Amino acid sequence: MNNKFKITEDNISAVMQFVLLGFSDLPNFQILLFMVFSIIYMVILVGNTLIIIITRLDNELQKPMYFFLQNFSYLEICYVSVILPRILFNLWTQDRSISLLDCATQMCFFLMLGTAECFLLAVMSYDRYVAICSPLHYPVVMNHKMCVQLALGSWVTGIPVQIGQTWQIFSLPFCNSNHIDHFFCDIPPILKLACGDTFVHEVSVYIVVMLVAAIPFMLILASYSKIICTILRLPTAKGRAKAFSTCSSHLLVVVLFFGSGTITYFRPKSNHSAGIDKLLSLFYTVVTPMFNPMIYSFRNKDVMAALKKIILKKVAL
């Protein structure tokens, strides 16, 4: 018997190992894809690391907004490092097998970090809400202790929930097929391989998504509705433009991340298409982390000024 399967007491062939099909339907582009994803991974690592360094070294960026941006950049590095190294390994070696434990571990960390990103984006929107709508109270409300508590809460809130959800999904029996038509272990393609009725598990997934994604998204919408109303009441066009510029970068990241993630997880299993799932997943696993440094640096005058200052200081040495 192939060690990818084992015979259960009910004489059913149960899956012991999965195969991530990934981009195997593009056999002539494996080397090209490896190069593209390698470049993307380097851009994400270098870009987000640069943001972390800039926001730590520059004294003028020691503000709550940049403290959360620093956390967000570090989170993006961790987030993509759960996915991209495995993709690169599969493309380079053409060995697409992954053990049940490794698959569950990848999914668990992916879900925990994804949850942390949802809450951190909500925290960042709250920070902008206080800064724009209550500027006089901003230093008191968003003090260092509060910032640390909000950031820490974003990181740890999803841990018990997603460990439980991962355990629930991988307690399902998987039989007959062990081929995951995806480039990483995500919930929709895993549920497709489960035997029997998975309706209860699908409902459970929807409930968890509502808790860890929909609620933060609603908080973001509430914050930005207040922010927009406040901006529109500002007396000068220059003031409105300056206030909106501090929010536009964050809002763009929110749309990219939540838009693609919501479509993926809120569709019924019967409506999932492997090709569409892969395309949407690329947005919230690769595209958003890749554009994060560009969005937050090139569109932010303070970050660009701090970067120029650091470069000039190094050149002077």
Distance CA 106, CA 191 (A): 15
**Burial (CB count <10 Å: 0-12, 13-18, 19+), residue 79:** buried
For 139-164, give one letter per residue: b (16+ CB within 10 A) or e. eeebeeeebeebbeebbebbeeebee
pLDDT of 204 above 50: yes
- Residue 276 CB neighbours (<10 A): 13
Q: What is the pLDDT of residue 101?
A: 92
The residue type of 90 is: N
Length of the chain (residues): 317
Q: What is the pLDDT of residue 3?
A: 53
Distance CA 303, CA 297 (A): 6
Distance CA 152, CA 179 (A): 37
Among 7-11, 84-88, 130-134, 280-284, the least confident range: 7-11
Mean pLDDT of the chain: 84
pLDDT, tens only, 231-277: 888 777 776 776 677 677 777 788 878 877 777 776 665 565 667 77
- Residue 221 CB neighbours (<10 A): 14
Q: What is the pLDDT of residue 98?
A: 93
Q: What is the pLDDT of residue 7?
A: 46
Structure confidence at residue 116 as a pLDDT band (50, 70, 90): very high
Domain architecture of the chain: domains with CATH = 18-316 (1.20.1070.10)
Q: What is the pLDDT of residue 18?
A: 92
Average pLDDT over residues 42-65: 89
